[in-house]
Structure 1
Amino acid sequence: APNIHVQLNSEVTELHGDHHLESLVLENSDGEKTEMNITNLFTFIGAKPCTEWLVGIVATDEKGFVCTGPGIDEEELYMCDIYTQRKPQSLETSIPGFFAVGDVRKGSVKRVASAVGEGSMAVSQVHQFLGELKAIEGPLQA
């Protein structure tokens, strides 16, 4: 479409407007800054999950997305009392009680609305997990 302009290798460094977006400042990879009069902005920051810190801790796929629920290979599960009784919940990782939601999760749809929904689902799953812990270990200590 002629009214869409893709700005590669650029970073939005400033947004301006009193009641809505009126302009922004872009900085390109050479450090050059450009102010643009604009009222709509769609950003795509990439598809890299930035989970390097989780490698070797929880199961991830070849791109670094965190595996959850039925998408976890059996041999990657941390075997403990809970996982001998049940499979991981839909948002639970290879470690019981460790949950992943949103863009970082393998198979997510990479949309804000679904990430928010997954976050609210995770609350319910955390409560289920805590109930299981209480049943296994007795009353939780504060």
Structure 2
Amino acid sequence: VRTTVVRLDGDEHLERLTLHDADTGEDKEVPARFMFTFIGARPHTDWLAGVVERDEYGFVLTGSDLIANGGELPAEWSLERAPYPLETSVPGVFAAGDVRAHSVKRVASGVGEGAMAVSLIHRYRSMG
């Protein structure tokens, strides 16, 4: 907490990190062979307010999550069919990866969902 990784060093592989303590202003070098970076905990979707439906944390609702509470389609849904997987409350607008509510929040999942979204976009364009 209140510590930032400011440098990664090593020759053939990671050997050490430089950490910056925000409280003291000091930098400290520590040995390290691995570093795990976690992203996606905050969706940063405030700019989508009023555009697509989001959950209470700001993650974008897609597919069956749009009708999970009561089975009703969103009021703004203009098509007779249910939303495709990864499709937002706006027909033809898809979301993939960390920004999506209930996603796995892992890189491989995001890549897979992105590939799936491309396929669904083609389906949407050909069928509506």
TM superposition score normalised by structure 2? 0.83
Following superposition, the deviation at residue 94 of structure 1 comes to 0.5
Runs ≥4 residues deviating over 6 A: none
In structure 1, what residue type is equivalent to 2:65? G
- 1:1-142, aligned counterparts within 5 Å? 8-30=1-23, 31-45=25-39, 47-73=41-67, 74=72, 76-80=74-78, 83-84=79-80, 86-132=81-127
Unaligned runs of 5+ in 1: 1-7, 134-142
Residue deviations 1:57-105, cap 9 Å, x none? 100001111000011144535333xx22x11111110111211111111
* Residue of structure 2 in register with 1:140 after alignment: none
Post-superposition Cα deviations, 1:37-72, rounded to whole Å, max 9, x if no partner, equal: 211112334622111111111000011110000111
Q: Contact 1:78–1:96 (CA<8 Å) still a contact in 2?
A: no
Deviation string, structure 1 residues 107-130 (Cα, Å, up to 9, x no partner): 111111111111111110111112
Q: Once the two structures are aligned, what percentage of the paired residues are identical?
A: 51
User: Alpha carbon RMSD of aligned pairs, Å?
Assistant: 1.9
Higher helix residue share: 1
Q: 1:77 to 1:28 in 2, by over 3 A?
A: farther
5+ long unaligned stretches in structure 2: none
SS at match of 2:28: strand
Equivalenced residues, count? 123
- Structure ranking higher on relative contact order (CA contacts 8 Å, 6+ apart): 2
TM-score, structure 1 as length reference: 0.76
